[in-house]
Structure formats: C-alpha cells, structure tokens
Amino acid sequence: MLFEHVFANAKRDPSRVLFIDDRGQTTAEQFAKMVAGFSMLFRSQTTQPRIGLFLPTTTAFAASFYGALVAGKTVVPINFLLGKKEIAHIIKDSGIDTIVSAPPLIDRIKGLPIKLIDLSTLPTSAPEGMTMPPLPTPAASDLAVIMYTSGTSGLPKGVMLTYGNLAADAQSAIDHAQLKGEHKFLGVLPLFHSTGMLATLLAPTQLGAMVLYQARFSPVGMLQAIRDHKLSLLVAVPSMYGAVARLKSAGPDDLAHVYAVISGGEPLPGNIREAFLAKFGKPIMEGYGLTETIGPISFNVPGRHKPGSVGQIVPGATIKLIDDNGNEAPQGQDGEVWMKGAMIMVGYNNLPKETAEALTPDGFFKSGDLGHLDADGYLYITGRKKDLIIVAGEKAVPREIEEILLTHPSLAHAAVIGKKDPSRGEVVVAFVVPKEGETVKPDELREHCRAGGLVQWKIPREVFVATELPMSPTGKVLKRVLAEQLAKQPT
C-alpha cells in the first residue's frame, strides 16, 4: 500500500536514480536495500510500536520512513524547529522510546529520555548478501504516521494518519494533477510536514519518479538544482518562491521545462504570485490542505487554474461550507470549510474530546478555516475561525506566546495576533499593558520570550505597549479591534 512501491520500483528499473541529495545519488535498488536494512535495524533496536524521526530533508529520512513501516512501526516525524519542551511532549504523548537522527540535529535532543539511533555511525550501504525482510501486511485502517501539529493549548497534538489516509491522498493528488513517473520533483520542504511528505515523498515514490532533496533552502541553490537537473515539479512555500523571484540572474529559460509550480503550507500573497509570473512566465498553482488531510484537499493544476483560489477539490474528497447557524452557506458566501474523504485523519492521539469536536458523526472534518466556492467549484480561503498564526508555514498559538509574555514581572496584560507579511505570510505581533508604575521595552520582552523557550518565529516581530486593551463586557480581549488598530499603523 505504501512501502510496496519501494520494492516494485527496484524490481522494475533497479539502476534508475530515484533520489538525489547532498550526499549523492541513490538508485531504486540501492534505496530498497537501505529501506530493508533500516527495517531490520529498527526491529532490533525497539519493541515499541512507534519510532521517531528527527532528520532533515534527505534520502536518509525517506529510507528511514519506509524502513520503519517495513519494520511494522508507526512513524512519528518530529519538527526539528520545535523547542525541547515541545519535543519532550511529543516523546511522552506518542510513547516512543527511540528516535532516529544525525548530527548536527542530534545535539538538540541530547538529554531527553530517549534512545538515539545515529545514522552517521551506520554503514553507507547494505551488507553484501543481505536478504529482504518479510513484508508486513497492514490494513488500510492501521496507523502509519502520527504527525504533530500545534494545539490550542500551545502543545503539539498528534494527528493520527492511517495507511489508507496516506495512500488515498497520494493517489488523489496524482490523479488531480495528472502526474507521471517521468516527472522530476524538487524536495525542499521539510518531510516532517504534511505537504512535504505527501508531495515529495509519498507521491514520487508511488510514481517511481525522481526527487531531489535539499536539506537547507537557498534561493540560489534551488534555482541551480532546477537548472542542472531539469526538475519539472516544484513544491514550496510562498516565501521560497518570493526569494527565487528576487534573484537578478533568473529568467524564463530557467523554468522552461517545468510542468507545475505548486504552493502550499501558507496563503500565497498576491505580490509573490504576480512577481513570480512576471519573472518566469509560470503561474504558481496554489493549494490547500492540513495536517489532518495529509496534504492537499484542493489545488490548482495546469489547465485548471484560477489565481487567488486554492483550486478545485481533489478526486475522492468532498467539502461543504457551514455558516454560523450550522447550515450550508449559499454558493459564493463564506462558511467554515468541512471536508470528507479517505484522506481525513482518524483523530488526535490521546485527545478524544478534541477528536469529537473536529470530526462529525458522519465523517466530516471541521477545518476551522473560512472560505467559499465559485460557480466552477474553485475554493477560496478567506480566513480562519481560530487564532492560529501561520509564519512561513509554521503555526504559532497566541495563547502560548501570551503565557510566556505574562511571566514577565512587569506585565499586567498581553494579547497576540498575526500581521500579514509579504514574505512570510504572517508575523507575530503583541499588544501589552504594563503593571501600574512599571515600564517595559519591546526588545526586553522579545528577549524574555527567547529566554522562555520560544523559537525565533514565535517571538513577536513587533510589540506595542498600551495603557489598556479593548475588552468585552465579560473581560475577553477583543482581538478584532486590535487587528483594526494594527491595520491603521503606518507601514
């Protein structure tokens, strides 16, 4: 269902190069042997049903992922941008006792209650005469991945995804975009994210297509890879496309062989969309999906593309838009996006209440996002019901940041909202009220957040010191009013 494609690719065309990364090329046969070797290693290292991956975007991540599945393990990919507090929560919540990593990332998890498998200490090739391990026979309903995303409490929550979820969305994306095995994929997104995993691991492996991985994003490096390897399928976040479009040496010839430029992970700003089109003559195909859908539920494709929309719904999925009264919104009017299909998660790990709130009895997932459909079935996402702030594809929870701010001894109140940003989608902005007789400086509060364990992208870009915050009669901060105040600030 998933790992079978690895061995089918090796049998069909063993010498074909399927993976390229900073360490070189890997053929289909070599990759299958890596997967088999990792599966035997993981079986011998842990008896737990789940195993963590703490790795950059490389062939080693791909081989570890499939190796874990062949070993009968559920994969827990861990975002290496998280702080130790969040990583420790993931370890405890998922029940893993072993993490696969490599330098320099391995230094970030030292001291945590976990066994480490350091890939840099292992042989670079499978031993001669190694036999293929017996393959498990998982059911579609068996758990393949627990992917952690930010929760309302500020701690990540585990999205439980089955073999059927992953296989269904990969096939839906392939059918929707008419992808072929001849395509060459760019893999520059983190594989611990749903967009990266679906679009640059599951889909190309299912197709038997080549993918080039870059562990670190560089606009020059990304463009050079597209040129040198004639990559035809690009998947990235808007800020990456914006950076490439600003390169003076770039032009239409660089992307002449590209089939599709797909954007996900965060809303696509209009200025980036237009600048990229003007620079390269190629439209960016915006898509929409969540961790709970393991990738796109809709996206634009060549021949079916409307700028400003996130495309039409993929095969096998349905959506409906629900207004504030619980009724389906008329066409063209905004409602909360509810979605249904074989790609929808089975629930949140150890969170039955949140699962029941997110999934309806008839199988619809409530996304929390607002949007509308046009007459041609193109979906437009217009906002979010919740307060999550998306910073370059990463989710920041206001409550978590507010709680850190309020540990400062001089603060009485704090409220955090998102501010639109042309390069990162959004940035974090804080409004604070000092205690009577106290004074605070923005830089001091940013340093306080850093000392409190917030990662850089969660630290407020701007801090506004006020004498009071707008409150409702019940004492709730009116963030809508703060957003209006922010919009009036000079740029």
The answer on 343 and 295 residing in a single domain is: yes
| Contact criterion met (CB below 8 Å) for 486 and 417 | yes
Domain boundary among 357, 382, 407: 382
Range 5-43 burial, b when 16+ CB lie within 10 A, else e: bbbebbeeeeebbbbbbeeeebbbbbbbbbbbbbbbbbb
Closest CA to 51 of 110, 94, 103: 94
Q: Which residues contact 360 (CB under 8 A, 6 or more apart)?
A: 338, 366
User: What is the identity of the amino acid at 132?
Assistant: M
Q: Which CATH number fits the domain that encloses residue 315?
A: 3.40.50.12780
Domain boundary among 319, 350, 382: 382
Q: Which CATH number fits the domain that encloses residue 397?
A: 3.30.300.30
Q: What is the pLDDT of residue 265?
A: 81
The answer on 478 and 356 residing in a single domain is: no
The answer on 246 and 178 residing in a single domain is: yes
Could you tell me what percentage of the chain is helix, strand and coil, using 3-state DSSP and rounding each to the nearest 5? 35, 30, 40
Total tally of structural domains belonging to the chain: 2
| Burial class of residue 178 (count of CB atoms within 10 Å of its CB; 0-12, 13-18, 19+) | exposed
**Per-residue pLDDT of the chain in tens (491 residues, 90 and over written 9):** 799 999 999 999 999 999 999 999 999 999 999 999 999 999 999 999 999 999 999 999 999 999 999 999 999 999 998 888 889 999 999 999 999 999 999 998 988 999 999 999 987 666 666 667 789 999 999 999 999 986 434 688 999 999 999 999 999 999 999 999 999 999 999 999 999 999 999 999 999 999 999 999 999 999 999 999 999 999 998 889 989 998 999 999 999 999 999 999 877 877 789 899 999 999 999 999 999 999 899 999 999 999 999 999 999 999 999 997 899 999 989 889 999 999 999 999 999 999 999 999 999 999 998 889 999 999 998 766 767 788 988 878 777 888 889 889 999 889 899 999 988 899 999 999 998 899 999 999 999 999 999 999 999 999 999 999 887 544 467 787 898 888 887 76
| Strand (E) or helix (H) holding 372 | strand 365-373
Distance (Å, rounded) from C-alpha 489 to C-alpha 21? 45
The answer on 44 and 174 residing in a single domain is: yes
Which token pair is 489? 């600030």
Torsion angle, alpha carbons of 23, 27, 30, 36, to 10: 100
Q: What is the pLDDT of residue 150?
A: 62
The answer on 267 and 364 residing in a single domain is: yes
DSSP label of 108: G
Neighbours of 444 (CB within 10 A): 12
Q: What is the pLDDT of residue 33?
A: 93
The answer on 365 and 315 residing in a single domain is: yes
Closest CA to 100 of 31, 42, 58: 42
The answer on 366 and 393 residing in a single domain is: no
**Domain extent at residue 141:** 4-382
Looking up tokens 């690719």 gives: 9
The answer on 187 and 152 residing in a single domain is: yes
The answer on 285 and 175 residing in a single domain is: yes
Q: At what angle do helices 28-45 and 59-70 cross, to 10 degrees?
A: 60
Q: Torsions phi, psi of 215, nearest 5?
A: -70, -30
Measured CA distances, 453 to 81, 137, 404, 448 (Å): 12, 42, 9, 9
Distance (Å, rounded) from C-alpha 155 to C-alpha 207? 36
SS3 assignment, position 433: strand
Q: What is the pLDDT of residue 129?
A: 62
Q: Which residues contact 489 (CB under 8 A, 6 or more apart)?
A: none
Domain boundary among 348, 382, 416: 382
Closest CA to 261 of 281, 291, 247, 289: 281
The answer on 356 and 424 residing in a single domain is: no
Q: What is the pLDDT of residue 314?
A: 97
Closest CA to 376 of 440, 306, 441: 306
| Contact criterion met (CB below 8 Å) for 198 and 296 | yes
Which token pair is 320? 């409906």
The answer on 369 and 428 residing in a single domain is: no
The answer on 393 and 370 residing in a single domain is: no
